[in-house]
Chains A and B, each alone.
Chain A
Amino acid sequence: MSQHGGLQDKAATPILLGMVNIRSVAPQDLAPAGLAVDDLSVDFDGRSVLQNVSLEVAPGEIVALLGPSGCGKTTLLRSMAGLERPFHGAITLGDRTLHGPKTFVAPERRRIGMVFQDSSLFPHLTVGQNVAYGLHHKDEKEARTREALALVGLSDLADRLPGTLSGGQQQRVAVARALAPEPRVLLLDEPFSSLDTTLRHSVRNEIHRLLVSLGITTVFVTHDQEEAFILGDRVAVLHEGKIAQVGTPAELYRQPVNRWLATFVGEANLLSVDEAPDDCTTEVGPVTVTTPIAGPAELVVRPEDLKISSGTGGTVEFVEYYGHDAMVQVLLTSGTSVRVRTHAEETFTRSDQVAVSYCGPGAIAFPVGLPNNDC
């Protein structure tokens, strides 16, 4: 990224404050609309990509679609935009049916804004022309373009060509372009994944503030759990074409509905036990179980629910130091490795002899050997 670009990226944020009244033109039409997906199924050449997916996004809410590659999250987003045609199900925006048994509203008439993973800015048009592309009334064009560029803090770049901008600036122009026609919903398809780490954080932060202050209904796709948790009011996790769970980040983290989700969302130690009563005995000592099971089970124990003290019972295999905390992997005498999050000040080194114990609020258990175990 160029020196100039760097300065631009930093200088952007303050301008946001005064510019929030983007909806001043016709308020009743622009009140944020809710988006509902009902029993949606999508096929590609006979291969099922989405199966009976239902999801409701409240007006003004930010929902993340999270999932591993190939889970169908991008397809769901593109179906909302009308870029894919589901063969079954319905999509409604506010009280308007976008897709249904006899309805298909073309993407260009949906009033949905979308930002793609790679910059899809038109390379032959200037930044200003790009932003103005979706505006049709001559008299509002100039003002709305200026307003939208100001929102993302890039007013002075209106005459530049996209190719001369940094990656972060390009994505911000893409956001401005999507917002300029005042869409009722904004869709973001992995918008930050093509940016490098530092830039990703600052652009993400800035877009987050913008979305919150505009109060626009937003759905975004990501494969990055951290990003989903940071930006999403709620997160919908997709797995193999189905919605595995929808909930707030805390719900997903603390009450995953199955074993796969427990390991996909955040780090988890899975401790095998022969039976899981309220007060269960495990390799790391007694653990409180919130969902007792009679019979063989696996307990989901987050790394921060464990603690280490000097003693016996385990050997430190290695330490990952993160600054704000550290992750210690301990090989228990039973032969299992567990990961433990510790304070950064607690210093352990390789091959230290340690004792591991449970200190969390209670673990959930999943039965072992049942077919519905893996989603």
Chain B
Amino acid sequence: MSEPITQAADQPRAGVGRPAPALTFLALAIAALFAVPGGYVLWRTATAQVDHLGLLTSAATLDPLWRTVQLAVLVSTTAALLGTGLAWLTTRTDLPLKRFWRIVVPLPLVYPSFVGAAAFLSGLTPGGIVHDLAGAAGFDLNLRLHGLFGAWLVLTLFTYPYVYLPVAARLAALPRGLEENARLLGDRPRTVFRRIVFPQITSSVAAGALLVFLYTVSDFGAVHLMRFETLTQTIFRTRLFDQDRSFTLAFLLLALALLVIATERTVARRGARSAIISNQPALQVPLGRMKPLALTAISFVVGLALFAPAISLADWGLFGWLRDQNGTTALRMDWSDVIVPTWNTIWISLVAAAAAITAMLPIAYLLARHRSRTGDLVNTVVVAGFAIPGLVVALSLIFWTLHASPFEFLIGSLPVLVFAYVVHFGAQALRTSQVAVSTVPKQMDDAARLLGARKFRRFFTVDLPLMAPGLAAGGGLVMLSTMKELPATLLVAPIGFRTLAVEIWSTYEALYLPETALLALVLVGISALLTWLLVVRRASHLA
């Protein structure tokens, strides 16, 4: 029984040894690339010929900033509550149909927020299903969704899974011995939750809420459709005629995101987590008389976040298709208008995923196998890349390629688009890659060495096959995010490069709602498939 201690004492080397210089150099080089967009924003802000203080304190700055903070705080708070509540219901209670709920509750993740917003809005306009059904029932429904409320509703409904997934995984994995001991020491179930369970899940809740916060401040599509001008809107609007303002606001957005990350880190560092992962089924609370209420609540949320947008889109799509079939009004697209963007979306996100994994792997090795200051630095830069809103990444890459003379040929080219995706979403692959690297025991590598295998052979015959599932999961996350990404794609993609996100956006802006709906259904279908494969089935990886 005392053996693990012996091992720890006898092998102080595990995870400490000095990294190879080549590895350090490679990781630093990658980090330097990741720092380009943020660095460019900083440089442009610093060198802008404007009165910074005046600009920062002007109403034109403070108003969108205030709206952004307001929305982000509201959305992350409600998403945290909703996500935690749903996680508790599906893991710790005797809720009926739990297996079903566990599958559908995280699925609203498949909607990009602008698609969700478009689905809600188009459902409520004349021709939309809600409006028409109400009309059939004799009401002239004139419901409009917009402003803070609209943005809050839509963003909350489509981001709560970011909280739900880690919290549910944590709740399910919490060793029941903790709670049983607390009960035996005299605590009532309610007290046990407050004193034992809650402290154990706070870091997961905080991590999830942080993601929601970052998602909200960098959201572009949903707030645009809801006519709620946050910083991203102002940056987008001013990018052509007032670059200095645009970059200063981008800097502000960046600072806001980094500030929140830093806060979350200091808070998370304080909590002590039980490292034990339990395989036993978690303790369950009987809902009793609350069961119907719980069922109603969970059905309402899932209905609104998952089924309502799907129905609204399907309704518009079907309407357009029928109209096309019976010859009233032809759809303004043919098969190629669906197939080309779909194909582009799939391959560009596959390339982005592969590039992200390739970039993250050396860093993951550095972080998982060695403890070094370089590793900490590289990690910070990459994570910061994730915090930089896609719009800011895009903005900075566009103007950088425009102004940096040797790189002009890159303007509006696919490598720049892939680079933008990798910088923005690479961090998502970093965490899973790190886990993947650390699942390969050092001992396994030692064993292969003693059997005569050189570095190259060890990597391809031992490390890579063992890491493959983890790397694929990380790549899948990047792919999923890339498909759903709008602002960077809109700004950076070469002219004429049509992806599903871009096509959905432009058809909606042109009010071709049936076309929007059909394209959106394709995107949501693909992303649902990926989500199912990567996120729902392996939710425990995200704890």
Contact = CB atoms under 8 A, between A and B. Distances in A.
Interface residues of A, number: 43
A133 B451 contact: yes
B444 A114 contact: no
A110 B450 contact: yes
Contacts of B7: 74, 117
Nearest to A68: B6
Nearest to A44: B12
Nearest to B2: A69
15 contacts: A44-B12, A49-B12, A69-B5, A69-B9, A75-B11, A114-B450, A116-B443, A122-B444, A122-B466, A124-B466, A133-B448, A133-B453, A178-B450, A190-B6, A194-B3
Contacts of A44: 12-13, 16
A314 interface: no
Closest CB pairs A-B (n = 4): A134-B451, A70-B9, A69-B6, A74-B10
Contacts of A71: 10
A193 B5 CA distance: 13
Contacts of B16: 44-45
A223 B7 CA distance: 11
Given A69-B10, A81-B446, A122-B444, A108 B466 contact: no
A163 interface: no
A223 B9 CA distance: 12
Q: Which of A81, A113, A122, A223 has the most CB of B within 10 A?
A: A122
Nearest to B9: A70
Given A124-B466, A193-B3, A107 B9 contact: no
Given A74-B11, A117-B7, A108 B443 contact: no
A73 interface: yes
Contacts of A107: 446, 449-450
A110 B450 CA distance: 7
Contact of B449 (A49, A83, A123, A174): A83
Interface of B: 2-3, 5-7, 9-13, 16, 441, 443-444, 446-454, 461-462, 465-466
A47 B12 CA distance: 10
Contacts of A181: 451-452
Contacts of B6: 69-70, 190, 223
A78 B12 CA distance: 12
A102 interface: no
A72 interface: yes
Contacts of A72: 10
A120 to B, nearest CB: 4
Contacts of B11: 74-75, 78
Interface in A169-203: 174, 177-178, 181, 190, 193-194
Contacts of B462: 122
Contact of A120 (B3, B446, B465): B446
Contacts of B447: 114, 116, 120, 122, 174, 177
Contact of A108 (B9, B13, B452, B461): B452
A134 B458 CA distance: 11
A112 to B, nearest CB: 6
Q: Which of B10, B12, B443, B453 has the most CB of A within 10 A?
A: B10
A122 B447 CA distance: 9
A109 interface: yes
